[in-house]
Copies of this chain bind each other. A is one copy, B any other.
Amino acid sequence: MSLVVVGSVGYDGVETPHGKVDRVLGGSCTYIALAASFFTRVKVVAVVGDDFAASDAAFLAGRGIDLEGLEHAAGKTFYWAGVYSADMTDRATLVTDLNVSADFSPKLPDSYRWEHYLMLGNMSPALQRTARAQMNEVRFVGGDTMEYWIRDHRDELLASIREWNFLLINDSEARLLAGEHHLRRAAEKIQKMGPQTLVIKRGEYGAILFQGSQHFTVPGFLLEDVFDPTGAGDCFAGGFMGYFAQQGMRMDHGGIDHQLLRRAVIHGSVMASFCCEQFGPERFRTLTHDDIEERYREFRSFTCF
């Protein structure tokens, strides 16, 4: 089953205590698609400018990613630059040049519209709805968002997530969206807004899956070194949705197979952990299926008793 991914493709300048890079391939769509490409076929929808390098397109295509929906517009590609704090728990944005993405509106090629799985990267909720509306037979829609949309475009966001099956959000955003500090109660409130499956990210501490009245907690992976956390949340989304699309949706009496979702959460965590091992999406150039399986087993080994 193919996964359609809508989001941003851009270039990033990143500084962490381990070094500094500029104009590395980035954007939510890039990270989601690369992570998901290890599990399923991926079709992307995004916009890039004249300066988008053929080598970057070749990297994505080399991972089997369908680029028919990658629009080329006159102008420069989206650019973001930021610097991480010494402990990498915080980051400051230095530059955000929207460039060609300022006028982006997702247009799904006909060949995308009958797929069953859709992941919407962080962007305007109105654009997320536009993309969602172009899918004819979608069975499972996931989306990401951020504080700005929750705070300043709440009604639009609520209209968008009402149509989602899965929301990926961090803990402070979940509290803001629900107006409730207690995570379990915040999750219940958000589930009533639409997404029955909710993953709350907690940075280095891992994530919690809520589905119906069940929950599942996965701790963060203790990496030897976190080189660059940029894109880790998107790689979680890619691993989660990619694995889910690969396995196909199974139902049990409580809805979607809960054990399948747990394994999807672990695969999301696995891909997020790999993402942090090198700058930008570099780790995905060398990553193998054996690496993924080994880390999956490591997750089991340090969480089970």
Contact = CB atoms under 8 A, between A and B. Distances in A.
28 contacts: A87-B181, A182-B225, A183-B222, A184-B222, A184-B224, A205-B205, A205-B206, A205-B219, A206-B219, A208-B219, A208-B222, A214-B302, A215-B222, A216-B302, A216-B303, A217-B219, A217-B222, A217-B302, A218-B219, A219-B219, A262-B305, A263-B305, A265-B305, A300-B305, A303-B303, A303-B304, A303-B305, A304-B304
Nearest to A209: B302
Contacts of A300: 305
A161 B208 CA distance: 35
Interface string A182-214: 111000000000000000001001101000001
A117 B205 CA distance: 32
The count of identical subunits is 2
A136 interface: no
Given A205-B206, A216-B303, A304-B304, 6 more contacts: A182-B225, A208-B219, A215-B222, A217-B222, A218-B219, A219-B219
Interface residues of A, number: 29
Contacts of A262: 305
A25 interface: no
A259 interface: yes
A176 to B, nearest CB: 13
Classify the interface of chain A: helix, strand, loop or mixed.
mixed
A243 B183 CA distance: 30
B305 A266 contact: yes
Contacts of A265: 305
B305 A215 contact: no
A49 to B, nearest CB: 39
Interface string A173-185: 0000000011110
Q: Which of A87, A183, A222 has the most CB of B within 10 A?
A: A222
A303 B303 CA distance: 7
A303 B217 CA distance: 6
A263 B305 CA distance: 7
Q: Which of A183, A205, A224, A225 has the most CB of B within 10 A?
A: A205
Q: Which of A214, A263, A265, A305 has the most CB of B within 10 A?
A: A305
**A-B pairs, 9 with minimum CB distance:** A217-B219, A262-B305, A205-B205, A184-B222, A217-B302, A216-B302, A303-B303, A304-B304, A215-B302
Interface string A252-268: 00000001001101100
